Structure 1
Amino acid sequence: MGRWAPGARQRLVFAAVDLFTEQGYDATTVAQIAERAGVTKSTFFRHFPDKRELLVAGQEDMCRLLSDGIESAPAGAGAMTAVAAALENASTMMGPDNRDLAPRIKAAVSTSAELQERDALKSVSLAAAMTTALVARGVPEMTAHLAAELGVLAFKQGFARWSDGDRRDGRDLAELSLEALDELRVASRSLD
């Protein structure tokens, strides 16, 4: 494959997930990932600072989409309505490739403490992005934190249902995330 062939970033992610699955995260090198993807090591480093960042590719875009969704919620909307708008907006980023890749990424992450730590940091950054956007709308900080954390949990649950579920179900990621958010709202009302 030519050095400047399109889709290098996506090919790198797919190559890394394949190699992590085949030989483990720790045994996989950047050189192997680049070779499998058909690019040079320097191309790898133009896209990613290190191999662990491959599995959180798109995190900045996801944070931006969540923030934009909150910002675009109707004026006067409550915190959870704004979070729902964020989840709908962020769901637009996820396509069939994400759905197909998700179970393999989950398997790779489960085998590495370093990747589990990075995945947890991703959740923190998503919640922080939503918290900041909610506070900017005038939501009190504690309420914003709680709503953002519920939003991250709902997105994770919706994503798991979407990626692991029956493809014939017909429901998209946004619908499944909003369903999970509604379930969390009901569950939170039952807390003492």
Structure 2
Amino acid sequence: MTRLLKSKAAPKMENAPAPRRSSKRERTRQEIYRSAMRLFAESDYDKVTIEEICAAAGVAKATFFLHFPGKSALIAVFNEEVTRSLAERLAGYEGSAEEELLILVSVLREAWELNAPVMHKMLSDFLDQPALVSKAAVVNESVLDLVTHIVERGQKRGEFTTGCPPEMAAIALVAAWSAFTAWWLQNPESDTDEINRGLLEFQLNGLRKKT
């Protein structure tokens, strides 16, 4: 299992290739996100204003707020970028569902750590706003969808117990990872790889089908 965790390093998200553009609204949303991430990388998250993001993206301030309630809400698109790339990588993967979850956790961790200076401040800003925290499920929606599909496949293959609906299992897994991410915010020097693996192993003990 350790071999799977040493996956190819995830690219810094401000340089990631643009996803397939399905609508003008999505193109605008992506342009705002990419412009913001470039500014965060060049300057400091706390110093970058929404006005500067709008100028870089070529949109009005009102347009920004049509897509995001604030700077920290951009964290949702960050998760979407990572999970979209990961879903493409896992397409046709022939390993077990457990291995897929291990890869997912590893890639998410790598992406967050590669963007650590920005993500620390963005997450801290997000957690300091109760109105946004109450919408945390939306932030993790793309991750939840991917985990749900992985768990569902594992159940169909007989790898995981069917005693828990895949959606509920995914919520439990993602909630634990979200709690870990908040902990990482306070303990940035910790061995996140080892702790992440231990946390996932603990969770998988409840998912594995007993023989």
* TM, length-normalised to structure 2: 0.55
Q: Deviations for 1:75-104, whole angstroms, at most 9, x for unmatched residues?
A: 3x2x4443222212333322343x223443
1:59 aligned to which of 79, 99, 110: 79
Shift of 1:180: 1.6
**Inter-CA distance 174–43: structure 2 relative to 1 (3 Å threshold):** farther
Which residue of structure 1 aligns with residue 67 of structure 2?
49
Query: Does residue 10 of structure 1 match 2:37?
Result: yes
Q: In the aligned structure 1, how far is the partner of 2:101 from the partner of 2:74?
A: 27
Report the AA paired with residue 61 of structure 1. Answer: E
Q: In the aligned structure 2, how far is the partner of 1:88 from the partner of 1:39?
A: 32
Q: Deviations for 1:41-91, whole angstroms, at most 9, x for unmatched residues?
A: 528869x9334442323122233245456656653x2x4443222212333
Structure 2 gaps, min length 5: 1-33
Report the AA paired with residue 112 of structure 2. Answer: M
Decide whether the 8 Å contact of 1:100 with 1:163 is kept in 2: no
Decide whether the 8 Å contact of 1:17 with 1:105 is kept in 2: yes
Q: In the aligned structure 2, how far is the partner of 1:141 from the partner of 1:69?
A: 29
1:82 aligned to which of 52, 75, 100: 100
Structure 1 gaps, min length 5: 1-6, 21-31
Which residue of structure 1 aligns with residue 28 of structure 2?
none
2:170 aligned to which of 148, 167, 190: 148
**Inter-CA distance 43–166: structure 2 relative to 1 (3 Å threshold):** same
Q: In the aligned structure 2, how far is the partner of 1:176 from the partner of 1:65?
A: 24
Question: In percent, how many aligned pairs have the same letter?
Answer: 14
- The higher relative CO (CA closer than 8 Å, separation ≥ 6) is in 2
**Inter-CA distance 19–111: structure 2 relative to 1 (3 Å threshold):** farther
**Inter-CA distance 72–94: structure 2 relative to 1 (3 Å threshold):** farther
Which residue of structure 2 aligns with residue 39 of structure 1?
56
Which is richer in helix? 1
Report the AA paired with residue 177 of structure 1. Answer: N
* TM, length-normalised to structure 1: 0.59
Q: In the aligned structure 1, how far is the partner of 2:57 from the partner of 2:139?
A: 27
Report the AA paired with residue 62 of structure 1. Answer: V
Which residue of structure 1 aligns with residue 132 of structure 2?
115
Decide whether the 8 Å contact of 1:131 with 1:144 is kept in 2: yes
Which residue of structure 2 aligns with residue 24 of structure 1?
none
Shift of 1:187: 7.6
Decide whether the 8 Å contact of 2:120 with 2:185 is kept in 1: yes
**Inter-CA distance 84–127: structure 2 relative to 1 (3 Å threshold):** same
Report the AA paired with residue 37 of structure 2. Answer: Q
Shift of 1:10: 1.0
Decide whether the 8 Å contact of 1:69 with 1:90 is kept in 2: no
